[in-house]
Amino acid sequence: MIIQTTEPDQATGHAADMYAGDVDDVGFVLSHTRALAVNPDAHEAFEALLGAVIPSIGLRVYELATLGAARAIGSSHCLLAHGRKTLRANLMHEEQLERLGRDYTSAGLSEADVAVMAFAEKLSREPRNMTDEDSERLRAVGFSDRQIVDITLAAAARNLISRALLALAAPTDELPDLSPRLVAALLSPLNP
């Protein structure tokens, strides 16, 4: 990554908070956090967007939309970070998350969970081909109009961050708490 990032001891304001959050969580400042902290106001706005989206869909649906989008985009940063968040929040156990990483359609997820991931994947791979049928699939498994919009925003927000990190060539850090098997499963969509 060629952009100049602020050293942890020089960070102030929201950037300092971002750095401190990483140090508290993983013991060091992640490369993707350094990249996003170059514009802390944009990161703060991103967090505000998530704060407006997550309450209606819940953390599990948000993480599934995030993982679905990250799979389609090929974002190792987001697959690992949100795989770890899914585990740490006890949204699913490691074995199921490993199966989700390899093939979410056969991971023992509910029909609604699979629909969210498929929607996020399609939005991320071929947004011009989205139709009312895609939203109708979400409605058919019980999501309200507000939730359909918020699932869409969650996946689109992941597109923003994942694509920005890829464009900036931010290195992918090894994360604690992820077994080598889980890392390989989460990253398997990147190596078809």
**Tokens representing residue 33 in the block:** 């956090």
Give the relative orientation of helices 76-88 and 40-73 as an angle to the nearest 10 degrees.
Answer: 100
Residue 10 confidence (pLDDT): 93
Residue 139 domain boundaries: 58-190
In this prediction, residue 176 carries a pLDDT of: 86
Spatial contact of 186 and 95, defined as CB atoms under 8 Å apart: no
pLDDT of residue 78: 95
Asked if 54 and 46 touch (Cβ cutoff 8 Å), the reply is no
Q: Give the orientation angle of helix 76-88 with respect to helix 94-103, to 10 degrees.
A: 150
Average pLDDT over residues 34-56: 96
Tens of pLDDT, residue by residue over 21-36, are 999 999 999 999 999 9
CATH of the domain at 97: 1.20.1290.10
Is 49 contained in some domain?
no
Q: Is residue 14 part of a domain?
A: no
In a domain? residue 36? no
pLDDT surpassing 80 at residue 192: no
Is residue 31 in some structural domain?
no
**Is residue 120 in some structural domain?**
yes
**Cβ 3 vs Cβ 170: under 8 Å:** no
- The whole-chain average pLDDT of the chain stands at 96
Asked whether residue 33 is domain-assigned, the answer is no
Tell me how many domains the chain contains: 1
Each residue's pLDDT tens digit, 137-182: 999 999 999 999 999 999 999 999 999 999 999 999 999 889 999 9
- 3 state DSSP class of 3: coil
Of 3, 133, 123, nearest in space to 68 by CA: 123
Rounded-to-10 torsion of CA 166, 181, 83, 190:
30
Asked, for residue 1, whether it belongs to a domain, the answer is no
